[in-house]
Amino acid sequence: MSIADSFKLLCLNLSIHPDVVEIIQYRYQRITKTINLEYRGINSSTQHSLYVGSYGRDTEINTSDIDVLVILPFSVYDRFNKYSTNGQSALLQEVKEAVRKTYSITHLRADGQVIVLHFEDSIIYEIVPCFLNKDNESFTYPDTHDGGSWKVTNPRAEIKAVNDANISCNKNLKRLCRMLRAWKSTNKVDICGLLIDTLAHNFLSQYEWRNKSYLWYDWISRDCFKYLMDQDTNQLYWRAVGSGQHVWRTGKFENKAKAAYEHSLAAIAAYSNGQYWAATKEWREIYGNKFPAIQS
């Protein structure tokens, strides 16, 4: 198996299995239908909801978090906005009870900004009730912290920007985002998914070989980790791809990016010398055991 074949199979290994995607979609539609019946009186399992987060941007590698916006009529906002204190918490509790009509046994709780639905197969949904704003693009959603407030998010802009950039760079953006998630998981890197996608987008947007094939993924990996390790460690936030919202640093990732960069240098050198097992070992230090063995 060549280096190109190994990276191609790695990307396939990081994709969510179609059977799991089908389960996710089935539950998503049941949640959507429940909310639509409760708040709009319509029997639709597809309208007024949206996958967001890493799953919505199609850059996720597992099912630990399926983020879903359920879009409520603005009259519901008016009702809870009149509360003297924390109408946001009351809204979450009401929507939680609506979801319970469909998923009464499954572990269910309201937590901060989301309703968490935890299934026995470890698939977790984080459901955010929200309201479409007058711009027909952004959404207002509740935050129960510090007495309650309303926040604004624009996930559609992020999804579109990732999709557009992915097309323009030979589908390499989403693959790179998933590979960086494998690096994060393997090495316990303190970095959030939206920052991964933003930095991967920023890297590829200025990268000379952003349109190359799997044959170049060793160099793309090396150069991306160099880009990550060279980020300013004092920088507190970045502007999210598409929406421009603040994406805050959650921890220091630069040193682990430097270690990955060094492993990539060793892997490339070993491969060029015909030391395929040594090269495989170095790539697995970065991406974990889903990286397949290089043979030739």
- Regarding whether 164 and 62 lie in a shared domain, the answer is no
Exposed/middle/buried for residue 54 (C-beta within 10 Å: 0-12, 13-18, 19+): buried
The answer to whether residue 231 sits within a structural domain is: yes
pLDDT of residue 155: 97
CA 145 distance to own-chain centroid: 23
pTM tops 0.85, yes or no: yes
d(CA 74, CA 269): 59
- Regarding whether 149 and 164 lie in a shared domain, the answer is no
Per-residue pLDDT tens digits for 223-277: 999 999 999 999 999 999 999 999 999 999 999 999 999 999 999 999 999 999 9
3-state secondary structure of 106: coil
pLDDT of residue 146: 87
Mean pLDDT of 164-175: 98
pLDDT of residue 105: 72
142 contacts 148 by C-beta, under 8 angstroms: yes
- Regarding whether 71 and 35 lie in a shared domain, the answer is yes
The answer to whether residue 221 sits within a structural domain is: yes
Confidence of residue 62 (pLDDT cuts 50, 70, 90): confident
- Regarding whether 194 and 127 lie in a shared domain, the answer is no
Cα atoms in the Cβ-side hemisphere of radius 13 Å centred on 194:
25
- Regarding whether 145 and 27 lie in a shared domain, the answer is yes
Q: Is 1's pLDDT higher than 80? A: no
Q: Are strands 66-71 and 124-132 parallel, antiparallel or unpaired?
A: parallel
199 contacts 228 by C-beta, under 8 angstroms: yes
d(CA 126, CA 52): 10
Q: Is 107's pLDDT higher than 90? A: no
pLDDT of residue 80: 97
- Regarding whether 124 and 188 lie in a shared domain, the answer is no
- Regarding whether 220 and 258 lie in a shared domain, the answer is yes
Q: Is 112's pLDDT higher than 90? A: no
The answer to whether residue 199 sits within a structural domain is: yes
The answer to whether residue 51 sits within a structural domain is: yes
Residue 155 corresponds to which tokens in the numbers above?
């996930």
d(CA 60, CA 42): 31
Q: What is the DSSP letter of 218?
A: H
d(CA 81, CA 77): 6
Cβ contacts of 264-267, under 8 Å, gap ≥ 24: 264/218, 264/221, 264/222, 264/225, 265/222, 267/218
128 contacts 95 by C-beta, under 8 angstroms: no
Domain containing 226: what range? 157-287
Q: Is 106's pLDDT higher than 80? A: no
- Regarding whether 138 and 51 lie in a shared domain, the answer is yes
- Regarding whether 161 and 149 lie in a shared domain, the answer is no
The answer to whether residue 6 sits within a structural domain is: no
**Count: domains in the chain:** 2
Q: Identify which of 58, 75, 56, 76 has the alpha carbon closest to the alpha carbon of residue 67.
A: 56
Q: Is 206's pLDDT higher than 90? A: yes
The answer to whether residue 7 sits within a structural domain is: no
